[in-house]
Amino acid sequence: MKKIVYRKIAKDCTKFFLTTIFTISLIIWVLQAVNYLDFVIEDGHGFIVYFKYTLLSFPKILSRIFPFAIFLSFAYIFLKYENKNELVIFWNFGIKKINFINFFIKLSFFFVLLSLLLNAVIVPLSQDKARSFIRSSDLEFFESILKPKKFIDIIKNLTIYFDEKGEDGVLKNIFLNDKSSETKSQTTFANTGILKKLGNTRLLILYDGIRINYINGNISEFKFSKTDFNISKYTSNTTTHQKTQENSTLELITCSLVLNNLAKKLKFTEIKVINNCLYENLKNIYEELYSRLLKPFYITFLITITLLFILKSKDHPSFNSNKLKIYIFGFLFMIFVESTSNFVTTNLLQNLFLLILPFLFILIIYIYFLGTLRVKHK
């Protein structure tokens, strides 16, 4: 009987959790997708890039909503059972509250593992895939971002300006500035020009103009009646380098060990290939590892907070005020967990307290349960 009861409540909590997290995440994803539409199109990328990029952002949204969905789901199910007097029936059947609490603390580690998988593996992988996809995509919407009498600088190392665009697509009074390096640049003026695409190559064909080259302080120029300017060799200004959040967890762990001289057997050449593996980036690496590997353990504490609902029945005079206090405590605690990343430092010993903090909270609330239930039985 007890196993059936535990299984039923666990199933209800899990189902409501999945419904909650996917519903809220989907709403946020749709709202963010609108912002991404402006971001992608303004940078000249097409709808396929836009769709895949937004889709790859969904795991990150899931990871951010995860703690909130856990707290809301378990609180809702426990209160629903209390309002229907089902918890009273469980107690009358001989189910002890401490055993009930123990079961859900054990169950919480299943959700901790899910959160670890999401934070430490799926999210970094999806973020890196999204960045790689942007990096490898071309400027499909190049023509749509060209506006007359406006300096267009969304293309890396290239600024474009023109006075007007005719109905036939001809650009007039064109200015191009290509600054590929500090010692080399190229400025082009043309009376007219037109965009054409030949296969995978996008060209700006210029007519009646002059090109000025600056190389190591030397200036040269030549006039032309017609010349082709290859747009396809350029990329957008979208950030294409890998961020710390996009490094794999294994890379971050390896990097932190090397930077702390804890992995002397590893050759330096093996580490050079890890992006962002720099001592000045060590704090960001620790913060990222903390968020991925330690924050998920707060899930257990959030679930134990919702178990406070079973300590008092709905007939108790302070039930409603107690319910409000638990909700406020839960939401404040989630804010606190998010803020703990700010206390991460580059010193491993100073970070030791943060390492044990989630387990310390779990121990404290469990001792509180033991004390409260022991007093009630006396």
Q: pLDDT tens-digit profile of 241-262?
A: 668 888 889 988 888 888 777 5
Cα-Cα-Cα-Cα torsion 288, 292, 294, 300, nearest 10 degrees, comes to 150
- pTM of the entire structure? 0.75
| pLDDT tens by residue, 325-336 | 999 999 999 999
3-state secondary structure of 69: helix
- Name the CA dihedral angle for 139, 144, 146, 150, rounded to a multiple of 10 degrees: -120
Q: What are the helix and strand counts (H, E) for the chain?
A: 13, 6
Residue showing tokens 């064909």: 205
DSSP three-state, residue 80: helix
Which DSSP letter does residue 345 get?
Answer: -
Radius of gyration for the alpha carbons in the chain, expressed in angstroms and rounded: 29
Say yes or no to pLDDT of 114 above 80: yes
Q: Structural domain boundaries of the chain?
A: 2-136+242-377, 142-230
What is the rounded end-to-end Cα distance, in angstroms, of the chain? Answer: 27
The mean pLDDT value for 68-97 works out to 90
H helices of 170-308, where?
249-259, 268-271, 282-293, 298-306
Per-residue pLDDT, averaged over 338-360, amounts to 87
Q: Answer positive or negative: Cα dihedral of 97, 102, 108, 110.
A: negative
CA 152, CA 341: separation in Å to the nearest integer?
38
Mean pLDDT of 119-125: 94
Residues 42 and 273 sit within 8 Å (Cβ to Cβ): no
By the 8 A CB rule, do 154 and 176 touch?
Answer: no
- Split at pLDDT 50, 70, 90, the class of 269 is very low
- Residue-level pLDDT at 135: 61
Q: What is the pLDDT of residue 1?
A: 67
Highest mean pLDDT among 148-162, 266-280, 290-304, 362-376: 290-304
Length of the chain: 378
The residues, ordered by sequence, that sit 6+ positions from 122 with a Cβ below 8 Å of its Cβ are 59, 63
Residue with tokens 């079973």: 310
Which comes out higher in pLDDT, residue 204 or 287? Answer: 287
Calculate the average pLDDT of the chain.
83
